[in-house]
Amino acid sequence: MMAAVTIKKKKNKFSEAPVFTEKKDYRPEGVKETGLAFVGHEISEDRTTMNQFLHYDQLYTIRHGWNSKFFIGLLDGKIMGTRCPKCGDSWVPVRTHCWNLDCNLEKTEWVEMPLTAKVHTWTVAGWSGRSSLKRLPIILVYAVVGNSKVAIANELHGLKPWDVEFGMPLKIVFKPKEQRIGAVTDFHFEPADGWKPSPMNKEKERIKKLVEPVYEWVKTLK
């Protein structure tokens, strides 16, 4: 026979449910096409929590929880990172707790990052999803924002693909406020003001040869 089990009422250790007061709906009218689109978001009254609504054949809600301030920051034209108050390491994309073992999972604090970055690594996309085909070739970089310990991926605009250099200085450029949706596509990278590409060399010629047919192919698209 099984012993009787008494369930003690546990103290609720979760924080109170956020009150969402800022809600936007930008679902395109009559979405029929299958595919992926951000169709709205809601932000709590204290602006610490954000949920996004993603339509991918059916509606999904992305609950950003403790990472919300990063996405709310994008709406405001800011790059929000997190920082460990113990060791000072900082991160974009954000971490909610420090990764250093000595810090014993210390909770991080929010910091506004500078709108400057450096190329960590990069590639050129010669093929993409249907919605981006006409913009090919697309330069994709992993860039280190400010003194972040990790790199974030995004597009690099404003130069030829063969002119990208490892470590080159970048600036972060946001879309106009009314076009932002709180997603990483709200911004892209561009070369820092005053940056000039180095002269052509063998490696640049090699990349140019690979990329030029893509420009030609895009011209044939209707």
Binding site for Zn ion (CB under 5 A): 84, 86-87, 98, 100, 103
How far is C-alpha 146 from the geometric centre of its chain's CA atoms? 15
Q: How far apart are CA 166 and CA 18, in angstroms?
A: 43
- Using an 8 Å Cβ cutoff, are 137 and 161 in contact? yes
- Nearer CB in complex with Zn ion: 102/178: 102
Rounded to the nearest whole angstrom, what is the least distance from the CB of residue 69 to Zn ion in the complex? Answer: 19
Nearer to Zn ion, 64 or 86 (CB): 86
CB of 86 to Zn ion, least distance (A): 4
Q: How far apart are CA 141 and CA 171, in angstroms?
A: 13
* Beta carbon nearer to Zn ion, 87 or 173: 87
Tokens of residue 181, six digits:
């949706």
- Three-state secondary structure along 140-207? EEEEEECCCCCCEEEEECCCCHHHCCCCCEEEEEECCHHHCCCCHHHEEEEECCCCCCCCCCHHHHHH
Measured from the CB atom, the residue of 100 and 128 that comes closer to Zn ion is 100
Residue 64 or 107: the one with the smaller Cβ distance to Zn ion is 107
Cα 37 to Cα 34: distance, rounded to the nearest angstrom: 9
* Separation between Cα atoms, residue 45 and residue 64, nearest integer Å: 15
What is the rounded CA–CA span in Å between residue 13 and residue 185? Answer: 35
Question: Based on CB atoms, which residue is closest to Zn ion, 87 or 192?
Answer: 87
Question: Smallest distance from the beta carbon of 141 to Zn ion, in angstroms?
Answer: 27
CB of 93 to Zn ion, least distance (A): 17
Minimum distance from residue 90 beta carbon to Zn ion (Å): 10
Task: Name the minimum Å distance from CB 142 to Zn ion.
Answer: 23
* Secondary structure of residue 10 in the 3-state scheme: coil
